[in-house]
Structure 1
């Protein structure tokens, strides 16, 4: 990093806080283990949609919705991204409560490299030698895990692919992160609310009636845990060089991995460790290459990076 590059401290702490919250979320969803995963996701949708809508109304009035309505293509694609993010949330929550936190963390380690592959296939971007090496190492790690464990790590791949495609569509749309989440929530709110009512009417849900006040509050606050890190992230990326944000994103899967092994007691045998090591090595190659390229882009006058 050039000596002249200044980093906004508030933005930096916003990014760190967001990634730490995302990394500690397995503990939160584990506290809700008594609730079926689908109902956790539905509550997450309902409460986060209400919170984000309230935030947008307070900060932008009704103008945020008009901005999206003026772009019909964006509104249509946000319907697709709402489905993708719901799938991602549902798979992750199920994985946590089914004892697959480690494999879930693997998905978010792989995700940046899947983004690179999609950039090549969809956006026709070109990779340099280091990036191809990074992708190759990650692919070798996935193949090794498949061989060593006797099955494809479908949870990790499902999480990585769904979030990568989600990110690709959001990149193409170029819609503000919080506004995009607000529109996605608007699409999902009524179906999710209707499903929750159906569960309650049929006796399969116990919100405000059987799970207890503690569980009810956790389900409600899960909406805040969905929205707050994203708002913090949106705040950070406008103030911190994106290369640094890219490095910080590995806080989340690292915390998830440590929680899975040290707190939730999941097995981490040598066979799995070798596969992770190959993927980590690929990420190191990828991160170092990104850092070197960012240094080359810094002007001789040490102009601050603007992403």
Structure 2
């Protein structure tokens, strides 16, 4: 890869993670709307926005071709449905967590997500962990246990966010499509449910959308763009940079969310919270370093010298 390509890729991916990090501010402006209605609008308007994007970028035919391919490839179709349900669950819980003043726990979910993904890879694909990754898991587990003791309960929001996104990533491996088409298809699957839900709200006159507040209407419509734009930047950036760099950049989003939760929205953050996060940050540092080419090269040399010694 050329240096200027890598720099541009890092800029695109970094900006995507920055947008994901500040997304809670957007949801906070909608905290007077139920999380389920926000989710329904997010799904519907994301589909609308992505269809416009596909039309403008002339990817419409690729979408049709992919849809036709599902007739013969049932495995991909089932994976798409599961991925749609998982990402919808993740979106709902994240919106609900943000708007019930639990941003700190939500940020924890995205900090531990890479480790959960590795664990899923170990269980599903029988991938082997390096000694450094075992140490990372031990430290992260300690951090979660400290948080559990400080809360007096298991941090289930963080765990479900990490698990749902980890499983989503797992199912996405089975769907070999462009990221823009992927998001379009995922929202297409759950849009009928979202439309039925919105219809029931309108029938019972319980909806916030089109109920007198223009600012609320615009924010709900804008949820589609707020969902799609970071993903498009991420897709553009991920193509140009190595995975090790992407691994470091992914911590931008939960770090911004944590800062917002503590310093802007003044959520409860104790010394035990800090201790817990320090364990998790150390775990992630070790994990991220263990994925770099230099560390892998050093570890391979160490294993060879150990084998020779034996």
Would the TM-score normalized by the shorter structure come out above 0.5?
Answer: yes
Matched ranges for 1:110-129 at <5 A: 110-129=112-131
Q: Which residue of 1 aligns with 2:302?
A: none
**TM-score of the pair, normalised by structure 1:** 0.91
Please list the CA deviations of residues 228-253 of structure 1 after superposition, one character each: whole Å capped at 9, or x if unmatched.
11111111111111111111010000
Please list the CA deviations of residues 112-151 of structure 1 after superposition, one character each: whole Å capped at 9, or x if unmatched.
0001111111111111100111111111111121122210
The answer (yes or no) to whether the contact 2:132–2:286 under 8 Å persists in 1 is: yes
Q: CA deviation at 1:296?
A: 3.6
Q: CA deviation at 1:79?
A: 0.6
Please list the CA deviations of residues 156-180 of structure 1 after superposition, one character each: whole Å capped at 9, or x if unmatched.
0010000000011112333322211
The answer (yes or no) to whether the contact 2:289–2:295 under 8 Å persists in 1 is: no
**Partner SS, residue 292 of structure 2:** helix
Pick from 63, 83, 96 the counterpart of residue 98 of structure 2: 96
Instruction: Tell me the number of residue pairs that the alignment of Structure 1 and Structure 2 aligns.
Output: 294
Q: Which residue of 2 aligns with 1:23?
A: 21
Q: CA deviation at 1:189?
A: 1.4
Q: Which residue of 1 aligns with 2:81?
A: 79
Q: 1:295 to 1:117 in 2, by over 3 A?
A: closer
Q: Which residue of 2 aligns with 1:300?
A: none
Q: CA deviation at 1:188?
A: 1.2
Query: Structure 1: any 5+ residue segments left out of the alignment?
Result: 298-307
Pick from 33, 36, 40 the counterpart of residue 35 of structure 1: 33
Q: CA deviation at 1:215?
A: 1.1
Q: Which residue of 1 aligns with 2:10?
A: 12
Q: CA deviation at 1:293?
A: 4.7
Are residue 202 (structure 1) and residue 181 (structure 2) matched?
no
**Partner SS, residue 205 of structure 2:** coil
Q: CA deviation at 1:56?
A: 1.9
Please list the CA deviations of residues 5-24 of structure 1 after superposition, one character each: whole Å capped at 9, or x if unmatched.
66433322110110000000
**TM-score of the pair, normalised by structure 2:** 0.90
User: C-alpha separation between the residues in 1 aligned to 2:32 and 2:18?
Assistant: 25
The answer (yes or no) to whether the contact 1:19–1:248 under 8 Å persists in 2 is: yes
The answer (yes or no) to whether the contact 1:108–1:156 under 8 Å persists in 2 is: yes
Q: Which residue of 2 aligns with 1:65?
A: 64
